[in-house]
Chains A and B, each alone.
Chain A
Amino acid sequence: MQKSTLLFLLLLISAYAFHIGRQRSRQIVGGRVTNLHSLPNYYGYYTALWALLPALALLFIWMGFETPVINHLVIGTLPEASRSLSADNQGLLINDITNALNGSYGEAKPELKTTVDYLRSLKIRSNWLLSLLAITLAFMGAFFARSRIHKEHRARNKVEQTVMAFLVGSSLIAILTTLGIVLSVLFESIRFFDKVPITDFLFGLEWSPQIAMRSDQVGSSGAFGAVPLFTGTLLISSIALIVAVPIGLMSAIYLAEYASLRFRSVAKPLLEILAGIPTVVYGFFAALTVAPFIRDLGADAGFDVSSESALAAGLVMGIMIIPFVSSLSDDFINAVPQSLRDGAYALGATQSETIRQVVIPAALPGIVGGILLAASRAIGETMIVVMAAGLAANLTANPLEAVTTVTTQIVTLLVGDQEFDSPKTLAAFALGLVLFLVTLVLNIIALHIVRKYREQYE
């Protein structure tokens, strides 16, 4: 039986369990539901959970152990020569056999024929055994739960506890994944810092991550000074913020304070669509439209502008993060109580005085929070800079030159064939760690400011 069929059957059984649990609870009190501790549906859910959860647990455990156990059995039947192979070669052999079983890559080699048949029979047996056990377990669970139902039984509490356990589990998955990513980045970074001293990485002025792959190769020995990347990131993010903060803030003020309701209801979603455009689209817009435009403009004005410039990438990235600034600022300006505006109006302040001197200062913490979130977005942005800012690790503050950023370098370090333990590859993890720490700090500050502000007005 296929696993999906089995899963479907288990669901059917639990639906049946729901039914018998509910029936049972009604039957116990003779239909007077108010005499029960919980509503009949809760007894139904309780029974259904007992039917489903143990069987599902069995299913997952079985699936986890099935392949190793079967492989072990298969290897046991192989001739002595194969058994004494190294683990890697045994793995290859098993792969051959499995492929033969699935019919891919043509017919099996004749000498493996018996083994393949054996594997097939094992798999079929395993499936039947699993199905039998799971279905039995489901029914046992259902009838066990049904037998436990009595008038005082706290089914509601138990069901809700189970639900809570699911919720906890779901949030744990997110947290543990994050933790896992952070730890793996951290450990790889530590390996990198074994090869390249951390001070060289953080304070070195030259970035040239090429390593000679053969001893006779002409080439650099690799320089891992990340300062040009940090300055490049800083330069592009600053340009982006210089674009996004005034435009975003002013559009937020207009939308929140001046615009009519009808205009606002159209304009705000439109502005937020900007955030939904895939960054790769922004990227080619930056690379194919904005960068050449700036280059030509610079050429006309007598400047020497490279065709991939920090300015182009920064401008487009600024457009991209406008919605972060405007949408959040707009929310916070709206959250400023009307009573404060009334207070200012009642003193004879004009609308713009009220906005500048009362509303904006009151919303400032929220606005700053929005700007910091936008900044951390800008720092972590990859696609636009890969396409529009170039790859040259120039240590410069001139926005007309090509620069490169931390994210771009991570991409180039990991694209193509790589040795996993060379400093070049590991450098990506170190860069990732720095990037992560910076955006983390920015986000923490932003969230802290936002929360502090919320406490004040709600």
Chain B
Amino acid sequence: MRHPENIPTSASFSRDHIQTVGNIFVKDARIECRSVDVFYGEKHAIQDVSLDVGRNEVIALIGPSGCGKSTFLRCLNRMNDTIPGCRVSGEIKLDGQDIYAEGLDVVPLRAQVGMVFQKPNPFPKSIFENVAYGPRIHGLASNKLELEEIVEKSLRRAGLWEEVKDYLRHPGTGLSGGQQQRLCIARTIAVNPEVILMDEPCSALDPIATAKIEQLMDDLREHYTIAIVTHSMQQAARVSQRTAYFHLGKLIEVGETAQIFTDPRHQLTEDYITGRFG
């Protein structure tokens, strides 16, 4: 991990510069967002954001509270649909297909783009049923044996199998916070998504549980694309390959994580990561 002492003192773009700095494009992008605007009623929560998310990369979305990073994340699997008064415009493509196209069914979309939330939210069901829920509603298993296989595989990938294999019938809500969060990740993996969105997944966890989840993200990168919103810059530096800095609903700077944290080019980015702001 990189330490804040390495940060230089001057940036090339002043605070008034409002265009996104850095390269928003990646080769062979999995998700392409172009000119995305989000309104909550009158409030313009996201303003003209364009960003690509590549395959098998972890992209960290950072920025002060209320900057729109969670809202942006929730656009990627249309979770904003459940919020009354929320309006999204612009274009978001997953594997070349517009996810806001008219008549698009959100059910397969959300199976492709899974989400892990800030607070662990296991269903009030058994550990097994929590993981089996997704495969069941999507009909991924044709019999009980297959379902059990999926559950085991998902729990193994989430690094939880060894801890819970003898307690699969116990309620998921009885696990510790860190275990619950890994259960939620297992639940998300179980429907075999392509992209996993994580909205501050470690903010309710202690450092040991956080370390486990971060290790897990590194392992999961092999199979999935991950977008993570985090308030911890150390965490962004540890887990991500690219970092995007949001400020007041605008995307300020995008770049390789190493470059963002050692050599930010926008003054606002530098202010934030050096602790002068936010």
Contact = CB atoms under 8 A, between A and B. Distances in A.
Contacts of B61: none
Contacts of B123: 340, 343-344, 358, 361-362
A431 B135 CA distance: 55
Interface in A393-415: none
Contacts of A337: 121
A357 B114 CA distance: 19
A455 to B, nearest CB: 12
Interface in B183-206: 184, 187-188, 191
Interface stretch (B16-24, B103-111, B157-165, B231-239): B103-111
A348 B82 contact: no
Contact of B110 (A348, A362, A456): A348
B79 A342 contact: yes
Interface in B24-79: 77, 79
A340 B121 contact: yes
B212 interface: no
Contacts of B115: 342, 346
Interface string A212-232: 000000000000000000000
Interface string B121-133: 1111100000001
Interface string A334-348: 000101111111111
Nearest to A364: B124
Contacts of A350: 107
B224 to A, nearest CB: 14
Contact of A348 (B119, B121, B134, B173): B134
Given A341-B82, A342-B79, A342-B82, A347 B121 contact: no
Contacts of A349: 107, 133, 137
A456 B174 CA distance: 11
B15 interface: no
Contact of A343 (B106, B107, B184): B184
Nearest to A341: B82
A353 B137 contact: yes
A361 B122 CA distance: 13
Contact of A456 (B77, B134, B173): B173
Contacts of A357: 133, 137
Given A347-B134, A347-B188, A353-B137, A342 B117 contact: yes
Contacts of A341: 82
A345 B134 contact: no
A346 B73 CA distance: 12
Contacts of B191: 347-348
A345 B110 contact: yes
Interface string A319-361: 0000000000000000001011111111111100100011001
Contacts of B2: none
A347 B124 contact: no
A299 to B, nearest CB: 49
Contacts of B187: 343, 347
Contacts of A346: 77, 79, 110, 114-115, 117, 188
Given A347-B111, A347-B187, A362 B124 contact: yes
A456 B171 CA distance: 12
Given A348-B191, A349-B137, A361-B125, A339 B77 contact: no
A451 B61 CA distance: 41
Given A342-B82, A342-B117, A347 B133 contact: yes
Contact of B108 (A339, A344, A348, A353): A348
B82 A343 contact: no
A347 B187 CA distance: 8
Nearest to B173: A456
A419 B106 CA distance: 74
A347 B117 contact: no
Contacts of A362: 123-124
Nearest to B171: A456
A139 to B, nearest CB: 63
A343 B120 CA distance: 9
Interface in A208-257: none
B169 interface: no
Contact of B121 (A261, A343, A353, A456): A343
B19 to A, nearest CB: 33
A3 to B, nearest CB: 61
Given A342-B82, A347-B191, A456 B111 contact: no
B156 interface: no
B133 A348 contact: no
B223 interface: no
B170 interface: no
Interface centre among A261, A337, A340 (most CB of B within 10 A): A340
A364 to B, nearest CB: 9
B23 to A, nearest CB: 30
B137 A347 contact: yes
Q: Which of B79, B108, B123, B188 has the most CB of A within 10 A?
A: B123
Nearest to B107: A348
A431 to B, nearest CB: 41
Contacts of B137: 347-349, 353, 357
A342 B125 contact: no
Highest count of chain B CB atoms <10 Å: which of A337, A342, A346, A362: A346
A55 to B, nearest CB: 59
B79 A347 contact: no
A339 B124 contact: no
A221 B111 CA distance: 75
Nearest to B125: A361
Interface of B: 77, 79, 82, 84, 106-111, 114-115, 117, 119, 121-125, 133-134, 137-138, 173, 184, 187-188, 191
> Top 3 nearest A-B pairs by Cβ distance?
A346-B115, A348-B110, A348-B111
12 contacts: A339-B117, A342-B121, A343-B117, A343-B123, A344-B123, A346-B79, A346-B115, A347-B191, A348-B110, A348-B134, A349-B107, A361-B123
Given A339-B121, A347-B114, A347-B188, 10 more contacts: A343-B123, A346-B117, A347-B134, A348-B108, A348-B191, A349-B107, A349-B137, A350-B107, A361-B124, A362-B124
